[in-house]
Every structure is written in structure tokens, then in C-alpha cells.
A = this chain, B = another copy of it.
Amino acid sequence: MSKSFKAGVAYYPEQWDKTLWKDDAIRMKKSGIEMIRIMEFAWCLIEPVEGKFDFSLFDEVVDIFSREGIKVVLGTPTATIPYWLFKKDPSCVQINSKGLPKQWGGRRSVCVNNPTFIEATIRLLNAIADHYKDNTNIIGWQLDNEIGHEGSDRCFCKNCQQKWNLWLQNKYGSIDNLNKTWGTIFWGTTYHSFDIPLPLETYGAAHNPSMLLDYSRFMSDSFVNYLNIQHDILRGKINKNQWIATDVFMPSLSNNIDIKQLTSLHDFIGLNNYPVWGDQDEPLPYYFTTLNMLYLKGLKDKPHFTVFEQFSSMQGHNCLGYLPPEKQVISWTDKAVAFGAERLFYFRWRTAPFGQEQLCYGILNNDNSDTDLLKAISNNFIEKKEVYDRIASSSSIKPKSCIAYHKDSIRILSHQYETKALYYAMNDYLQVGFEFEFTRWYAPFSIFQIPVDIKPIEDLNLSDYKIISLPFYLLCDVEFVKKLEDWVKSGGVLILSWRTGIRNKDNIAINLKLPGYFSKLAGINIDRFESLNNTKTHIKIGLFRFKVEAWADILNPVTAKVIARYSDKKKHYNGSAAISVNNSGKGKVYYIGTSLSTIGLLFLYHKIFRKEKMKPKFYGEGIESIDYLDKNNKTFKVIINNSNKNKRAFGKKLTPYSIKIKE
């Protein structure tokens, strides 16, 4: 663990005149920037001809910057390939879901299952590693760039086809086993061999959902394997002071790739943090950005992570949008550090004068003068050094609450979304309906200042927690349910959502009343439900009436107590139970059969948190907090005001976009 917070920038020396480099280094140093990340996308420079390596440019950069006291992080430049590699094997580009080839020239267009690409990667990584492994100015490595982004998490090329069939054979052993698991008898698609076509987008009718689930897992494994090749080469050679990580784009929960597996061998989690990007007219909700950091942080048992790309100036490919005021940019930095960034690289030092990111602005002005933003950033580092270092050198205080998620259930919901509320296509390749719904299950913890972990269920150490919220656990493992039962009996409080427990691990519908294995634990069963899609209805909790949306489970309480009932005369299930709580041993199980809008959420969770003596605090929208234990074993709380208004929280006054420490 670093003992202090370190700031850096993404730096692309190859895009600017080399006469600027030294001055850049000096200005960075002056501004509190201590690291640069370089070499991303520069494969064509370091291997201009197949097998001939030339590190002179980056050697010179490392040399110049090191002299000024700037350390260097190297990005392995595999997100785009050199022209000669494309010419050598034009079939290396991905095939999209309609069967049409992507084109060389954009990034992330090459297939990780292509043998030519893999072979070239291995040679490249060996060469880079050999060259820089003992360079003490190189402090670490970022593998590739935003793996799986921009729809690159799926491919339908011939190599994928081949590996897909092998993958299936490996997994299922016999074709009967596959047929049974997928239920191919449905629509009579029983296979006789593993020679199974990749699930190209079909026209009219859909693909077998279990095939799609396996396709998602297969693609994930392909990327994990590919990145592990890079990892293993580096790890085998580099000195132990150099770390290895990758930069994960946001949001990535509904991506085919399992980020936990992707990063399992890495020293820490790296992420890119863009609270606003492209043509957005306002930033993402602040808790959406936080949730993204907490989810990624939750993949490792460490309090800190690295932000490889932190929004500084406006960014977009073809279109721009919201211009944040400087203090909001600073606030986003504060927040990243508060939630665990021990290293943070602003994106980017200087705007590229050409190329696809001409509209991705840096922190220098066009005329190479300092922006006001750079001055603000620099002042901020001086002003907050102590705070940032203290956070970076502290350990976390384990929350008593956790929100757990299940990757395979998310995968299924990305296809069979069941309600339009779980469908939101940001563009051709990002269906992030789940991500937005998931924030609804996070928001109460955020707004009531209840510290919370976000964990995949396989990493869940039950005994750590008092409350576990487990929304959308569709594909259930009966063993895990048993563990939850024991944990509840011993005092745990479990919160379940609609659609819990509808299938087994293999995506086969459960032959029990819903919520399946959870039925007894939740003290209810469910025969009927309605998809509300984008319509709304109402529930009543006590005397108060709240809007709900997305879904309506109609609960039959068995041992559970009803907390909320539908309240809508237009619905034939008016008066039926919507939310319940069941006592089990010393614990409780809440079942929330619908999605509440904000006020309802606050009302419901306030009750829950108070009942569990979690001391919910309400300071209105915009306030977030997180607790640390410093190296002197002193606890402290970091409080952030995300809003442009003056706020009061935990007895502190917070001006707009400010941060405060409470001892």
C-alpha cells in the first residue's frame, strides 16, 4: 500500500513535438503531478516492422521525465494493432452480431481469439518486459485499455467459432449434457455434436437464453485468458516494485466480461472515471458514479484502487455536452480519493490536435498555457495533500452492510430483461438497464450514510455483515441459500427483490413456488406478477402512498408480515401484498416485490435501518460519506458534498462541491 496519494496524467508524447516534453515534465512537477501513463496505443511505434522493436522514443520520454522526478506507468499498447499486423491477417478484426466484419482503424476492433494477434501480443509483451523490467522509473503496468468497451465484448469470427465449440465441449463433456442443460428440446434444436454455431443475431425469433448465457461466459473467458497471457509474461519478468493492473471502463456490470475474473491476478483494481462524457447534458447521478467505484473496489479485498483516467476537461468523439465548473472537477477528484483512489491520472495532459479524440480536451489550453483548471488542480493538491495522503494510507472500516450481486443473473437479465425498466440502450452496444435499476438498491444506503460493500456473491463473507441486500438473484445456488438461512437465523437481515429465485444455477426454471429456494426463508410465495414496464402504480406502507414501477409481484404471505400493499383501484390485485418481512431465528428477511421511487425508498429503508439500529442519517441529496481507520488507529469520516448548494452533515458545514473530514 502506498503511504501517500499520487497524482498523474495520461501522456501521449508521440502526439506532440518533442521540444515540449521537458517543459511538460517541469510544469507537471510544479503542479503536483508525479506520474505519467504512456505507451497506450503506441504498438506501431515500438514495433514499426514485425519483430523489430524500437523503444527509443519512450526511452527518451522516461529519461526526461525521470530527471524531473516524474515516475512512469506503461500501458501495454494492444487496444489497437499496427497496420502491418492487420495486413498480415485481415481476418483479425471482430465479426459483429450480424456477421459483418468490423474495420481496422477504430480501437478494440481485433479479436482476442485470433492466433495471429495472440502470437504478436506474446512477442510484444516479451519485448516490452525485457526492455523495461528493471527500469526503476517504471513503477507499474496498465494492461491494454478498457477491455470489452464499445461492444468489443462479443465477436463472431471463425476463431471464436472454433474456440466456442471447444469451450462447450470442455464444459459439458457430452452433448447430451449440453442439450439437457440448455433445454434444446425446446423448439427442437437438439445438437448431435459440439459443432454449434455462435449465436449471431437472428431475425424474428430469439436464441436459447442458456446458450446466450454460455456465450457471455465464453466471451468473458476469452478475454480473461487473453489478458492473463499479458499478465503472466510481465509478472514472470518484471521486478517486484512494479505493479500490474488494468483500466476498467464504466459501466461494466452488464458487459459480457466478468471483471472480477479479469482482474483476479492484478495487484489492484484500476478504473476509468468519467462522471460525464460525450453528449450528456448533465453528469450521471452522483451515486451512480459512486456505485461504480464501490462495485469495482469490491472485487478486491483492499481499501484502495487506482483511477487510470479521471475526467478533467470535456470529452467526446463526435459530440460534446455539459461543461463542469472547475470546482466540480476538483470535487470529482475529492470523491475518487475519498472512495479509495490512491493513484489518480487525469485524462489528459494536452488535447490531441488530430485523430478520433480531437474533442477530448486536456488540461492545457490550446496555446499551451495553463488552464484555470490546471491551476485549480495544482492548488488542490497543495491544499488537500494532507487529507489525500491520510486517506491513501488508511485502511477501511468494514461496513456492516453489503449489496451482493450475481454476474450470471445480470447476464440473463441483459437478454431476458422481463420489464422495459431493465432495458436501456445507451447506444448500439450498451444495454445498461440493469445498472440503472441497481442504483435504486444502492441509493438508500448512500442517502442514509450507511457504509456498504458491493460484492459478488461468491466473495461474500456473510459473518461480516448485519444487513445484506441481494437484489436480482435469479439463478440460485441452493447451497448458498442454505448459508444465507443460517446467517439469517443467527441474526442477519436479508433484503430480496422481485424475480429472486426464479431459476437454478443453470438457468432452468425452479419447480417450486417463487421465490423458489427462498420461499420458506421469506415466508411468502408468489403465483402471479405483472411487468409494469414503464408504467407506474402505487403501494401503501401504513398510511402513506408511494409510486412504484418496473414490476409488481403479488405476494402470498405464509409466515411473513405484510409491510406494503398495492393501492390502485385500476389494478385487479389492488390490496395485495407487495412488500413483506419474515422473522427467522434472530434475523429477518425483507422481500420487496416492486421498485419504489425515491420517496418510497427513503421511507421504507429508514424503517429498516432504524429497526436494525444502523443509525440512518439524512442530509438530503448530494451528501456522501465513508469511514477510514488511519495508521494511528484513529477513525475518521470523509464527507462529500456533491451538490452546488451549501449543506450541513455530521455537524459540519459543507460549501458546494466540497469535502470535509470528521474525526
Contact = CB atoms under 8 A, between A and B. Distances in A.
Interface of A: 12, 14-15, 41-45, 48, 77, 80-84, 87, 94, 96, 98-109, 149-152, 182-192, 195, 197, 199-200, 202-211, 279, 281, 314, 316-323, 325, 351-359, 365-369, 371-372, 415-420, 423, 428-429, 503, 507-514, 516, 527-535, 552, 572-573
Contacts of A513: 365-367, 369
A476 to B, nearest CB: 13
A352 to B, nearest CB: 5
A99 B102 contact: no
Given A188-B43, A531-B279, A100 B99 contact: yes
B353 A183 contact: yes
A371 B529 CA distance: 13
Contact of A106 (B15, B206, B322, B423): B206
Given A105-B189, A150-B204, A365-B513, 6 more contacts: A44-B190, A94-B203, A106-B206, A107-B187, A109-B203, A279-B533
B15 A417 contact: no
Contacts of A195: 87
8 contacts: A99-B100, A100-B100, A106-B203, A185-B355, A210-B355, A322-B530, A365-B513, A368-B511
Given A204-B106, A354-B509, A529-B323, A191 B83 contact: yes
A529 B197 CA distance: 50
A533 B276 CA distance: 14
Contacts of A368: 511
Contact of A185 (B14, B530, B532): B14
Nearest to A278: B531
From A81, A351, A419, A511, name the one whose CB has the most chain B CB atoms within 10 angstroms.
A511
A210 B352 CA distance: 13
Contacts of A192: 83-84
B318 A208 contact: no
Nearest to A77: B188
Contacts of A82: 188, 190
Interface SS of A by simple majority: loop
A236 B351 CA distance: 53
Contact of A320 (B149, B184, B527, B531): B531
Given A192-B84, A317-B206, A186 B352 contact: yes
Contact of A418 (B149, B189, B320, B527): B320
From A149, A209, A357, name the one whose CB has the most chain B CB atoms within 10 angstroms.
A209
A508 B103 CA distance: 24
Nearest to A427: B204
A353 B509 CA distance: 4
Given A77-B188, A188-B41, A513-B367, A355 B105 contact: no
A658 to B, nearest CB: 15
B366 A514 contact: yes
B105 A208 contact: yes
Contacts of A210: 354-355
Contact of A317 (B83, B99, B149, B205): B205
A444 to B, nearest CB: 26
From A106, A204, A503, A511, name the one whose CB has the most chain B CB atoms within 10 angstroms.
A204
A416 B318 contact: yes
